[in-house]
């Protein structure tokens, strides 16, 4: 079989960012307002610092105001809650993102529940989760990674996913569950598989669409992929790469790419697949949030 088409997440993300930049320029023209994104980072996790810097830079590039709050790892929970409350009440802040994971002494769910749903650009607040699962996606803010994955699927397969067998591997609140909700809304037949699923290879073999979000490097093997299936690899695993030099790492996905590329019809690479889409969709959510807070009409959805 010929190798799969490689889905270029970097290129699609660039086109989404261009669209959002031009819509933001329109908003600035018409209302004199820039979307404001506040990113809160607690602690010094190096990977988180890279992501936060990237979000900050992309927001600026889209013409947004980006406000970064970096707090010491030992910051008391009450101080984090107080910051969220301040951002909730700041009219220049349209989107709030609290970088996860938070240090262990902070109750993540408590922080997320305090964010005003209309500013919750991660889409993690129970109100947004509820709107997504009840099929009111157009009134919600949808989690960025699943939204970006759906954009890639539609650019690959066309807008109609109806009747496709979709297998989501992973059941996290951040990716697996919202991805399943989105695919169900698109009329896919959705299976959510996880670490306790029996005969996982056979479950995946039935899939026309595979979304891998387990967080285990290269767990999904090539011979699990139905010939011609579309594979979206959400995994971002940093593993040692001694071949690149001592102490060097490389990023690999949850799918064994070199194997799967020989079976799939189309597949996302890591890096350069879902990752860049996550950040692009964060910009889209921030603009959507700003327009709603200003009482302006919805723009054409990107997916």
Ligand X SMILES: Nc1nc(=O)c2c([nH]1)NC[C@@H]1CN(c3ccc(C(=O)N[C@@H](CCC(=O)O)C(=O)O)cc3)C=[N+]21
Residue in 152, 236, 256, 267 binding ligand X, rule: CB under 6 A: 236
Is 236 annotated as a binding-site member? yes
Tell me the sheet residues that pair with 240.
249
Q: Is 55 considered catalytic here?
A: yes
Decide if residue 275 touches ligand X (CB under 6 A).
yes
User: What is the x/- site pattern for ligand X, positions 128-157, by CB under 6 A?
Assistant: ----------------x-------------
Interface segment toward ligand X; rule CB under 6 A; list 28-36, 125-133, 190-198, 270-278: 270-278
Residue in 66, 99, 164, 268 binding ligand X, rule: CB under 6 A: 99
Two structure tokens written together for 51? 């992501």
Cβ–Cβ under 8 Å, residues 270 and 252: yes
- Cα gap 43→204, rounded to integer Å: 38
* Triad 282, 138, 230: Cα angle to 5°: 65
CB nearer to ligand X: give 123 or 164.
Answer: 123
CB nearer to ligand X: give 97 or 182.
Answer: 97
Q: Which residue has the tokens 């490097």?
A: 217
Is 172 annotated as a binding-site member? yes
Least separation in angstroms between residue 241's CB and ligand X is 13
Residue (of 201, 202, 164, 159) closest to 184 by Cα position:
164
What is the DSSP secondary structure assignment for residue 66, as one 8-state letter? E
Cβ–Cβ under 8 Å, residues 277 and 149: yes
Count Cβ atoms below 10 Å from residue 16 Cβ, excluding itself.
Answer: 22
Cβ–Cβ under 8 Å, residues 94 and 289: yes
User: What is the x/- site pattern for ligand X, positions 36-55, by CB under 6 A?
Assistant: --------------xx----
Decide if residue 97 touches ligand X (CB under 6 A).
yes
Is 170 annotated as a binding-site member? yes
Cβ–Cβ under 8 Å, residues 86 and 100: no
CB nearer to ligand X: give 100 or 239.
Answer: 100
Cβ–Cβ under 8 Å, residues 68 and 52: yes
Q: Is 104 considered catalytic here?
A: no
Q: Is 122 considered catalytic here?
A: yes
CB nearer to ligand X: give 222 or 271.
Answer: 271
Which backbone phi and psi does 266 adopt, to 5 degrees? -155, 145
- Cα gap 37→67, rounded to integer Å: 6
How far CA 143 is from CA of 48, 201, 202, 268, in Å, comes to 18, 27, 29, 19
CB nearer to ligand X: give 46 or 158.
Answer: 46
Least separation in angstroms between residue 200's CB and ligand X is 24
Least separation in angstroms between residue 275's CB and ligand X is 2
- Which position among 3, 116, 120, 122 bears the catalytic label? 122
Residue in 270, 280, 283, 290 binding ligand X, rule: CB under 6 A: 270
Cβ–Cβ under 8 Å, residues 94 and 102: no
Decide if residue 100 touches ligand X (CB under 6 A).
yes
Q: Which residues are annotated as a binding site for NADP(+)?
A: 170-172, 236
Q: What is the set of active-site residues? A: 55, 99, 122
In the complex, the residues that contact ligand X under the rule CB under 6 A are 50-51, 97-100, 122, 144, 236, 251, 270-272, 275-276, 278-279
């Amino acid at each position: 079989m010929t190798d799969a088409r490689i889905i270029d997440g970097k290129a699609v993300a660039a086109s989404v960012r261009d669209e959002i930049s031009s819509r933001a320029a329109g908003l600035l023209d018409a209302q004199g307002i820039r979307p404001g994104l506040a990113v809160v980072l607690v602690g010094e996790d190096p990977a988180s610092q890279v992501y936060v810097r990237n979000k900050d830079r992309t927001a600026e590039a889209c013409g947004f105001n980006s406000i970064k709050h970096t707090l010491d790892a030992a910051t008391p929970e009450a101080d984090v809650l107080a910051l969220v409350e301040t951002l909730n009440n700041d009219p220049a802040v349209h989107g709030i993102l609290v970088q996860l994971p938070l240090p262990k002494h902070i109750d993540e769910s408590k922080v997320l529940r305090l964010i005003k749903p209309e500013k919750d650009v991660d889409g993690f607040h129970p109100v947004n989760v509820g709107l997504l699962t009840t099929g009111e996606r157009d009134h919600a803010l949808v989690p960025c990674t699943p939204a970006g994955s759906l954009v890639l699927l539609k650019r690959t397969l066309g807008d109609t996913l109806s009747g496709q067998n979709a297998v989501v591997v992973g059941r996290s609140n951040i990716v697996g569950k919202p991805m399943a909700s989105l695919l169900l809304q698109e009329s896919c037949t959705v299976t959510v598989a996880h670490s306790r699923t029996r005969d996982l290879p056979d479950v995946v073999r039935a899939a026309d669409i595979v979304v891998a979000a387990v967080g285990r490097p290269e767990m999904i093997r090539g011979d699990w992929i139905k010939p011609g299936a579309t594979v979206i690899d959400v995994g971002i695993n940093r593993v040692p790469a001694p071949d690149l030099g001592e102490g060097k790492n490389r990023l690999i996905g949850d799918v064994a790419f070199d194997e799967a590329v020989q079976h799939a019809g189309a597949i996302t690479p890591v890096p350069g697949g879902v990752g860049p889409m996550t950040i692009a969709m964060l910009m889209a959510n921030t603009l959507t949030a700003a327009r709603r807070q200003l009482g302006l009409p919805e723009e054409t959805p990107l997916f």
